[in-house]
Amino acid sequence: MSADAEIRNRPKVLVCDDDSSVRMLTRQCLEADDMDVVEAGSGAEAIEQFMAERPDLLFLDVEMPGMDGLEVCRRIRDLPQGGAIPIMIVTGSDDRETIDEGFQAGATQYKTKPVNWSLLSRDVQYMLRASNAFTALKRQEDRLRYLAYFDPLTNLPNRRSFTEQLNRILKRSQRQNHSAALLFIDLDNFKRINDSIGHGRGDKLLVEIAKRLTMELRQDDAISYMVEDEETEHDGSTEIARLGGDEFTVVLSEIDNITGVEAVAKRILHRLSQPISLHAYNPVVTPSIGIAVFPDDGADPDTLIRNADTAMYAAKAQGRACYRFYNE
């Protein structure tokens, strides 16, 4: 391992104490065990250094003039990057009330003065190992949740996520007496195109379709879709998902009338029908779109999905590259 890599792998500890001799002793103990130390002489400086240096652990004196250590701890916990960092507070009081106050402020561990310098490095290393183990576990949990709810190819929500979200949207729409629309999208002749260009390029084509859907419809997780024959905008949220293969869905909530839904369908149709550049290939993949509106075309998720799927097959029967609303 290079010297630069070793430096990057060394844990970084931010030491905050208004007493320079304490900072010096702490630095000597930690650097002797191959840790990097960043110093701060006040609470305000500690927050600045925390933002600039992104340390792995914070060693924090409670009794400081101005902003004390507990207030520093609270403020760092309120920062987006400060929620999980281990914080060791050092206090001259060993009564239960003071210690409880430290934990309530967000401390991970505490030490009472005078500090046993011979044990400090061991305690810091233990806190760092515990923090790393927690971070690894959290990362694994996040990964498992991602695999359960998202399509790894396109990064769109998967069928499970779509089903749960559709249930929530329809329940909310029913409570608030709003309409919602489900657009069921199936790519025309995808199997033939996939076989002709190869499955690797076929996957890239699906990724591009997902990107186009996202770029066209999503802006900060919501869309504003314009009703074409009116000047007013109607704000409604949208959920995009890939159910598998070449099937995608779009759910629009809080819609006022089908004219707005039709405007969205036209935008999707136009956007997805543009040629896709895949090295030497430039396939044109058109969508067939089936639309079902809640509650008229289905008062529950299963019925709405079934009717949107029926409308999609009607669009294919009509000649593909078009959209159809469900009609009994």
**Domains identified in the chain and CATH numbers:** 3-144 (3.40.50.2300), 159-325 (3.30.70.270)
Residue 85 burial (CB count, 10 A): 19
Per-residue pLDDT of 107-136, as tens digits, reads 988 888 888 888 888 989 999 999 889 888
Instruction: Give me the pLDDT at residue 280, please.
Output: 80
Per the listing, tokens 């430096």 go with: 7
Contact status, residue 242 vs residue 158, Cβ threshold 8 Å? yes
Nearest-CA neighbor of 61 among 10, 101, 23?
23
- State the pLDDT confidence band at 100, using cuts at 50, 70 and 90: confident
Token readout for 179 is 């309409």
Instruction: Give me the pLDDT at residue 236, please.
Output: 52
Per-residue pLDDT of 263-296, as tens digits, reads 999 999 999 999 998 888 888 999 999 999 999 9
Per-residue pLDDT of 7-45, as tens digits, reads 457 899 999 999 999 999 999 999 999 999 999 999 999
Predicted model pTM: 0.65
Instruction: Give me the pLDDT at residue 37, please.
Output: 94
Burial state string for 300-324 with b = 16 or more CB within 10 A and e = fewer than 16: ebeebbbbbbbbbebbbeeeebbbb
Let me know how long the chain is. Answer: 328
Instruction: Give me the pLDDT at residue 8, please.
Output: 54
Radius of gyration from C-alpha coordinates of the chain: 29
**Alpha-carbon gap, residue 273 to 287, rounded angstroms:** 7
62 DSSP assignment:
S
Token readout for 153 is 């190819």
Per-residue pLDDT of 48-98, as tens digits, reads 999 999 999 999 999 899 899 899 999 999 998 888 899 998 888 777 887
- Catalytic machinery residues: 246
Per-residue pLDDT of 185-222, as tens digits, reads 999 999 998 888 888 999 999 999 999 999 988 643 33
pLDDT at position 139 over 50:
yes
User: Side chain identity at 128, as an amino acid letter?
Assistant: L
N-to-C CA span, the chain? 69
Instruction: Give me the pLDDT at residue 223, please.
Output: 38
Per the listing, tokens 């099937």 go with: 247
